[in-house]
Structure 1
Amino acid sequence: MAGTARRDRRSARVPVYTYVPDPVLPPVSVLRLDPAAFHRKQPGEHTHDFPGLAYFERGGGSLRSGNREWLVEAGDLYVIAPGDVMGMGETAGLEHAGGIAVFFTQDALGPDRPGAFLSWRAHPLLFPFVGGAATGALRLKVPEADRAGWLARVRAIEAELADRRDGYRQAVLAHLVLLLVGVSRLATDVVGDLRLNDESLLAEVFTVIERRYRGRLSLSDVARAVNLSPGYLTTTVRRMTGRTVQDWIAERRMTEARRLLAESDLGVSEVGRMVGFTDPGYFARSFRRMHGLTPRGWRSAGGAPRRPD
């Protein structure tokens, strides 16, 4: 994975990769899918807690996601949702394939980014990703006439991240938006009126989290709200998304905490209280465990406004 992502072993079924944001860099990463990369490490089954795109300019081998296996062909675009389980297919490895992948977090879409995963259905740039958690990645085909331009967009993101010239952060995010516009246009006819397996349950879970993450909220609270046992709810949500209910609560709280630290002058303790932490010390420890920096360190590294607590 790219430098801002690490492997997370919290899932018992398959490895889960989680995105570790850097306060200085935009929350976007690019990974080359070339013979050298596949020779170094053949990727086994794994999943991500963030969305991604994998575009192949050269075919070869096969990929498996959910209950489907695809032969990889030139022009293939895989829209990978949080929770999709990805792996090598049974047809010879991917050493002869070639492409490039882009990973990002919803923070990249600015202040209008949606909260709960299933609310992405209503977002003009994120709706193609909602088909993943229960059914496997969405496979699209980039028309041959558009492939050079598509690859140029992704390489523009890669170049900006590598060169880091003045304004590169804004350039990366702008290129990402253009890329997602292209994905949405390709997906419009394919996704249509897509319905997820057990969508209503996930919708209830994320609605409860969205409504109550600013206060005291536990797995038992969510389970009680959706009339299920904590054990059954944990198993179901992990199977469908690759993460636990507690993981999603923590992620929602930290997403809002990052936003408040970057966009407001609220004190760190106040930020913690606003996202459900009554103990400032526990908030600081939790933030550092997820981000590798304290909330103050994050704010300082990102150059956000601050005031004393």
Structure 2
Amino acid sequence: MTHVASPTSELVPKTVLQGGARLFAASYVIRNAELGRIWRCGFHALLWLSGGEATLHCDGERFEVRAPALICLSPGQVYRWSAADDASRATLLGFEADIFTAGRAQDGLLDVALLHDLPLFRPGGTAMLAAAQNAATLDRLFDLCRQRYRQLSVPSGRQSWRVLPRHQEGVLLGYLHVILAEAATLAPAQALPVPAASSDLRLSRLFRLHAGQRALERLPVAAYAELLHVSPDHLTRAVRRATGQTPSAWLQEQLLTEARRRLALTAQPVEQVAEELNFASASQFSRWIRVQTGQTPRQIRQQGSGNWTVPGGL
């Protein structure tokens, strides 16, 4: 994987897969390689902590993680490790959502239609799952996945990165499917998706797909409804039935998450943050932050910055 150049609105470059790859696996000792380095996911990621203890910061949240544990990260989330003991070891399994493509049996791909509805990948927060009961199974699965990736992938010509050819995806996709199934059993019952009509689930997924890409534009729900060729009321009812949340509330969560990232990760003036998040003024942005969090932008920055601040802002 690699960091790619980003527009000025990005906090840090996204980490993306190279060479057309849609899945990769890597293992590392956190203390040796990762402390202090900031990552912005450009894909879905499963981080398996198989040994030791470590401190993870993700989108303003701090987690004291003890093995065995599984961390699920969504595209766009920003994280870093700030502390780890000598035994801390992680395996990272990253994949693009389109590797689960419905209706393409000729490619040998599995169809996980509800990938985004699993209680694992939450754009507005990090899923942190203790895995004591499933530890041996998950440890073996991640290890097999890493080994098979090394066997089936080919050198890319760029440092140590290797690319998994499309015709070799089936084996690792099988492991990924089992890992997701095992991981879903670790989630608390209240996190499981509420059964809903397939039409509601499909519309909800389409809304979140488009809104996740355009959240910073602060478009009204009516704009997404028009894009999806339904009425605003119909979209609101469908998303609420599928997720228990209204489209407006979901959009507010995404905007607040990005605001926290910018305040904690950069030295940007509040005026610049407000402008890039499409607020009319810094005072309007500050009032909105206070309503949403009970804190001022300065308080959020003081609490969440520390070693996160990117020198010079972006």
Counterpart for residue 6 of structure 2: 9
Instruction: Quote how far apart the aligned CAs of 1:70 are.
Output: 1.8
Aligned length, in residue pairs:
206
- Contact in 2 for aligned 1:208/1:225 (Cα 8 Å): no
- Contact in 2 for aligned 1:58/1:99 (Cα 8 Å): yes
Q: How does 1:1-309 map to 2 (within 5 A)?
A: 2=1, 5-10=2-7, 12=9, 14-20=11-17, 22-23=19-20, 25=21, 27-35=22-30, 38-89=31-82, 92-93=83-84, 95-111=86-102, 123=114, 127-131=118-122, 133-134=123-124, 136-144=125-133, 146-164=134-152, 168-187=168-187, 189=189, 191-192=191-192, 207=207, 225=223, 236=255, 239=258
Instruction: Quote how far apart the aligned CAs of 1:176 are.
Output: 0.9
Matched to 1:207, the amino acid is: F
- Contact in 2 for aligned 1:79/1:128 (Cα 8 Å): no
Residue deviations 1:131-180, cap 9 Å, x none? 2x22x311001124x31221111122222221129974211111111111
Please give the alpha-carbon distance, in whole angstroms, between the structure 2 residues aligned to 1:57 and 1:142: 10
What is the CA RMSD across the aligned residues, in angstroms?
4.3
- Contact in 1 for aligned 2:119/2:192 (Cα 8 Å): no
Specify whether residues 183 and 204 from structure 1 end up closer, same or farther in structure 2 by C-alpha distance, changes over 3 A only. Answer: closer
TM-score after normalising by structure 1: 0.53
Counterpart for residue 295 of structure 2: none
Instruction: Quote how far apart the aligned CAs of 1:188 are.
Output: 5.0
Instruction: Quote how far apart the aligned CAs of 1:79 are.
Output: 0.9
- Contact in 2 for aligned 1:16/1:242 (Cα 8 Å): no
Matched to 1:71, the amino acid is: E
Residue deviations 1:229-262, cap 9 Å, x none? xxx99x938817989xxxxxxxxxxxxxxxxxxx
3-state DSSP of counterpart to 2:185 = helix
Please give the alpha-carbon distance, in whole angstroms, between the structure 1 residues aligned to 2:88 and 2:191: 26
Counterpart for residue 309 of structure 2: none
Please give the alpha-carbon distance, in whole angstroms, between the structure 2 residues aligned to 1:78 and 1:60: 13
Matched to 2:147, the amino acid is: A
Instruction: Quote how far apart the aligned CAs of 1:53 are.
Output: 0.8
- Contact in 2 for aligned 1:83/1:241 (Cα 8 Å): no
Specify whether residues 150 and 40 from structure 1 end up closer, same or farther in structure 2 by C-alpha distance, changes over 3 A only. Answer: closer
Please give the alpha-carbon distance, in whole angstroms, between the structure 1 residues aligned to 2:45 and 2:127: 11
Residue deviations 1:42-95, cap 9 Å, x none? 243332131101111112231112343222211111111122221234xx4455
Please give the alpha-carbon distance, in whole angstroms, between the structure 1 residues aligned to 2:180 and 2:19: 22
Q: Percent identity?
A: 14
Please give the alpha-carbon distance, in whole angstroms, between the structure 2 residues aligned to 1:59 and 1:173: 28
TM-score after normalising by structure 2: 0.52
Specify whether residues 226 and 241 from structure 1 end up closer, same or farther in structure 2 by C-alpha distance, changes over 3 A only. Answer: farther
Structure 2: runs of 5 or more not aligned:
105-111, 154-164, 195-202, 226-250, 263-314
Please give the alpha-carbon distance, in whole angstroms, between the structure 2 residues aligned to 1:185 and 1:220: 36
Instruction: Quote how far apart the aligned CAs of 1:99 are.
Output: 2.1
Please give the alpha-carbon distance, in whole angstroms, between the structure 2 residues aligned to 1:31 and 1:182: 20
Residue deviations 1:204-228, cap 9 Å, x none? 99639759x9xxx9x989568269x
